[in-house]
Each structure stands twice: as C-alpha cells, then as structure tokens.
With several copies, the nearest count.
Chain A
Amino acid sequence: MSDELKPIIEALIFASPDPLAPKTLFRLLDSEPQEDVAQAVAALRADYEAHGGLQMVEVAGGYQICTRPELHEWVRKLFHEHSKQRLSVQALETLAVVAYKQPITGAEISEIRGVNTSGVIGTLLERQLVKVVGRKQVVGRPFLYATTREFLNRFGLSDLEDLPKVEEMAEALGMEVPSSLAAGPSTEPLPFDDDVLDDGAGDAGAVVDDDDARRRR
C-alpha cells in the first residue's frame, strides 16, 4: 500500500509551492487511511536520508524537498550570487522577542529591548517575517504582532515549538539562570517558560487562524 502511495506523495511534495502540510496531504489523498499516508511519508523520508543530493525537511508545518546544505557552495555557483540577504542584529533580536512573546505590541518589544523598535518592525513587516494579528484591547488599541509562516520557513523551523529552548540558550550563554530569577516574584512572565510560550502561540493561533491552532494540539 505504502509503496503505491510513496511516488504520489513524493510528486506532491516536490511540486508544492510551499512546504506541504500533512493536513493538505491527507485531504488530497482522502481515499486512503491517514495512517497509511503517514507511514508512506515516513518511508519516503527514510529513503531521502539515504539518498543523494536532495533531502526532505519538515519546515513551516510541512514537508519540502530541497538540496542538502553541504552542497550549498556548488548550487551557489549555479546562481553566481551570494546567499540571501542576511538580517541585521537589530532585526534578529526583535524577531526573537516577537517569536517568544507573541502576540506582542510594538511598545512591549521596545520595552524589552530597551530601544525604540518601530523602524525594525517596519522592515520585518515588509519582509513578511512578522504580521499584524490584531489589536490589543488597551488604550490606544496598539497593533499586536506575531511571526509568520515565512518566518518559520526562513529559519528552517517546523513550528513555533521548534524554537530554541531555554536550556540551549543558557548553554549558548555559558551561564546559569538562578532559580530566584527564573521563578522569581516577577509579575512579568519570563519569556522562555514553555507554558508562556505555548499560551502565547495558542492564543495567537486562536485569534488569526483556528485551523492552525488546532493542528498544534
């Protein structure tokens, strides 16, 4: 069964303009039991593991076939150009804040970063890495920002849960977070708590996109 499904799934993932979500795959192959489809996908991924210049990745909530990163320099030669334009430190840090605290207002981002960030948010909006997901119901009704699917795609994340976790971060910093601070009497939630992150992501999903929120459960 799975042997018959595999070529179809491969063709679909190959041709899909965006990473192909399992949900879409199930819908396209709705005459087949979902577990058969899932099994065929797993088998296909295993094939690509062993396979040559291409790989199958899970990114932005779907599957995609792309070249292996080790072959980057060869492919780059084909295009006689350098890689995509990199983001500035400002933009990366602002994105990090939005990613972990979404949905969040511009003022809240500036507060955390200690600098005015409106210009950077403009850049991120234009590059479709963040989006406006609504307004906060406070005085002034400021816009609430969240990350986009393009954000996940650009950073090779399968979903928001795939964001680097606090332990990895502490490691990168070479520091320990004292428990007094981690669990401190702060009224402000610490950003990298999984609970906070989940809630944030769930809420944002519920506002903009019911399907998406459901998928994450």
Chain B
Amino acid sequence: MSEPQHHGSDFESVLEEYPVKLENFEGPLDLLLHLIRKHEVDIYDIPIALITHQYLDYLDVMKELDLDLAGDFLVMAATLIHIKARMLVPRLEEEAEESHDPEDPREALVRRLIEHQRYKAAAELLHERETVRSAQWGLPEERLGDLAGEPFERELEVDLFGLLQAFQSVLKRARERPTFRLPSAEVSIETRTRELLQRLENIDACGFEDLFDKDRGRGELVTTFLAVLEMIRLNLIRVFQSASFGPIRVYRCDRPDDAPPPFGDPAHEAPDDMVGAAGAETDD
C-alpha cells in the first residue's frame, strides 16, 4: 500500500511548521522575549540595564535598515528606561509612592511578558488544532441541496458587523441599479435616425451592435432601436443575419422612390404593422 508523498508532514511537525520568524518581531514584547532568551537571563530577574541597552541597540538597527518602526516599539523603550531609572533609585521611589507599589518595578512588565508568552503558546496550540481540523473533510456544501431536496441557502451566524455590512451592500446595489426611463424627449427617433444614417454614409455596412455603442442607458438604447426599426421600414437600411444567433450586419441602401413616408409625418399616422414588419426582418 503506497501512500501519497506528503503524508504525515502536516501532523508530525506542527510546532516546527508554526510560522514564527523571530526576525520579524510582531511587537515590542516579542523583541523583549527574544532578548531574554538570547541572553539566557531569568525572566523573573531581568537585568534591566542590559536588556534596555540591547533593546535600544536593536531599535537603532531597525532604524538603519529603514524598517517601519512602529510607535509601539518606542513606547516600550520609554517604559524600559523608566524602569531602569526606578531601579537606580529604589528607596526614593518607594517613599514617594507610599505603599502603592512596594514591589519590584519590573513586576508589571514581567507579568505582561508572561501573559504574552502564554498567548503565544495558546496560539501554537490553536494552530495545532487547526491543522488536525483542516484534515477532516466534511460533506461538501454542494451536496446539501441534494439532501435538502430543495435549493439550499446557508444561514450565517451574524453580528453587528455583519448587519452593517449587509446594509452597506443593499445601499450599494440600490445606487447601482439602473433607473428605468422611456426614451427621453432629448433625443428624438428622427434625430437618431439622421445620426445613424450619417454614420453609415461613409462605411456602407457595420455590425448591428455597433449602432448602439454610443448609447448611455436604457433610454438611449431604446431610442436607437426604434430608429433602426424606422430605418428598416423606410428601406434606408437592410439587415442580414448569416445564421441563427449569428452576427447581424446592417447595410445602407439608397431610398427608393416608392418608400413609405417617414415616421412621425403628420400627414400619415404610423401604421400598426410598422414594428411587426420590421421585426420580422431583423428576427433570425
């Protein structure tokens, strides 16, 4: 029984795989922990002068390398210097602050470091759980519709953020939704007919879709379409399609003498068969 090549790699070396790169300190606490480990000093008895010195040196290196020196690192530098100062004058401090903080000035920092270290450990354990879990494949989402016997819509666990996001997407859609207008009075069918004829003047033929390429919005598209129908009726253009669903070509032709009168001619109401007849020629 041969196994796929990568088998096991995900499980056995979870901790090694955990993507900690000490060079890329996530923050000042990471850097401090690194220095403490590097110098093998006791976290509960940090030689504050040494560590502060090292920490500041590191910041200098970061500056030289032009790394993005986050403010968090500078805040920690100030904290270290402050602790160092208090270590140098412990008696005075204690009297000044009464019994408020009789403890080692390093204690608060140590507590933070320990806590931070615990969360790092927790993150590693979580990563381990994630690795195992991601190796357990559940029933694919696609199958749920079959099993439900009807279209399946997944329900989400929602929070305030989800609520706001949902509202934003509704508003976005509302803004993007096309507005419906009938052909506006701004461009009449007659005007559009003239424009299209002018375009066809020089080229003799073009693709059907090309006639619409200047149109913005549904209203203009409708105007152009009606103009095309009108032009067909007036025998100003001919429209051909090579095959079902094939491209439609539009050809200009000279207006014969027996052509019907123009659309909108007050002397002649638009005949009922106008759209039908023209439609038959464009269809298919």
Cβ 8 A contact of A191, one of B72, B115, B123, B154: B115
Interface: B28 (CB within 8 A): yes
Residues from chain B with a CB closer than 8 A to the CB of A73 are 3-4, 6-7
Q: Mark A149-168, 1 if CB is under 8 A from B, else 0.
A: 11001111100000110101
Name A80's closest neighbour in chain B (CB-CB). B148
Cβ 8 A contact of A100, one of B117, B122, B136, B142: B122
Is the Cβ of B161 less than 8 Å from the Cβ of A92? no
Cβ 8 A contact of A93, one of B123, B175, B177: B123
Bound CA span A204–B129, Å: 23
Q: Mark B104-148, 1 if CB is under 8 A from A, else 0.
A: 000100111011111111111111011011111111111110111
Cβ 8 A contact of A92, one of B126, B136, B143: B126
Contacts A77-B4, A148-B157 hold; do A17 and B152 have CB atoms under 8 A apart?
Answer: yes
Interface: A23 (CB within 8 A): no
Interface: A85 (CB within 8 A): yes
Bound CA span A57–B135, Å: 13
Residues from chain A with a CB closer than 8 A to the CB of B170 are 93, 96-97, 112-113
Interface residues of B in 41-59 (CB under 8 A from A): 44
Residues from chain A with a CB closer than 8 A to the CB of B112 are 112, 114
Residues from chain A with a CB closer than 8 A to the CB of B29 are 113-115
Name B155's closest neighbour in chain A (CB-CB). A86
Is the Cβ of A157 less than 8 Å from the Cβ of B136? no
Is the Cβ of A87 less than 8 Å from the Cβ of B115? no
Interface: A26 (CB within 8 A): no
Is the Cβ of A131 less than 8 Å from the Cβ of B162? yes
Chain B contact residues, majority secondary structure: helix
Is the Cβ of A115 less than 8 Å from the Cβ of B70? yes
Q: Report the interface size for chain A: residues with CB under 8 A from the other chain.
A: 86
Is the Cβ of B157 less than 8 Å from the Cβ of A68? no
Among the stretches B19-27, B85-93, B197-205, the one at the interface with A is B19-27
Interface: A48 (CB within 8 A): no
Is the Cβ of B169 less than 8 Å from the Cβ of A15? no
Q: Mark A26-62, 1 if CB is under 8 A from B, else 0.
A: 0000011000000000000000000000010101000
Is the Cβ of A132 less than 8 Å from the Cβ of B136? no
Interface: A25 (CB within 8 A): no
Interface: B160 (CB within 8 A): yes
Interface: B174 (CB within 8 A): yes
B44, B121, B141 pick with most chain A CB within 10 angstroms: B121
Contacts A132-B160, A154-B133 hold; do A197 and B174 have CB atoms under 8 A apart?
Answer: yes
Interface: A169 (CB within 8 A): yes
Name B146's closest neighbour in chain A (CB-CB). A66
**A72-B136, A93-B169, A112-B116 known, 5 other contacts, Cβ within 8 Å:** A70-B135, A79-B148, A88-B153, A113-B27, A155-B163
Q: Which B residues lie at the A interface, using CB under 8 A?
A: 1-4, 6-7, 10-11, 18-20, 26-30, 44, 70, 72, 76, 103, 107, 110-112, 114-127, 129-130, 132-144, 146-150, 152-171, 173-175, 177
30 contacts between A and B (CB under 8 A): A15-B140, A16-B140, A64-B138, A66-B147, A67-B137, A73-B7, A75-B148, A86-B127, A90-B153, A92-B124, A92-B163, A99-B126, A112-B112, A112-B119, A112-B171, A113-B119, A114-B30, A114-B72, A114-B173, A128-B162, A148-B157, A155-B126, A155-B129, A155-B130, A156-B160, A163-B122, A164-B164, A169-B121, A172-B124, A172-B125
Q: Which A residues lie at the B interface, using CB under 8 A?
A: 1, 4-5, 11, 14-18, 31-32, 55, 57, 59, 64-70, 72-77, 79, 82-93, 95-97, 99-100, 112-116, 125, 128, 131-134, 143, 148-150, 153-157, 163-164, 166, 168-169, 172-173, 175, 177-178, 181, 184-186, 188, 190-192, 194, 196-197
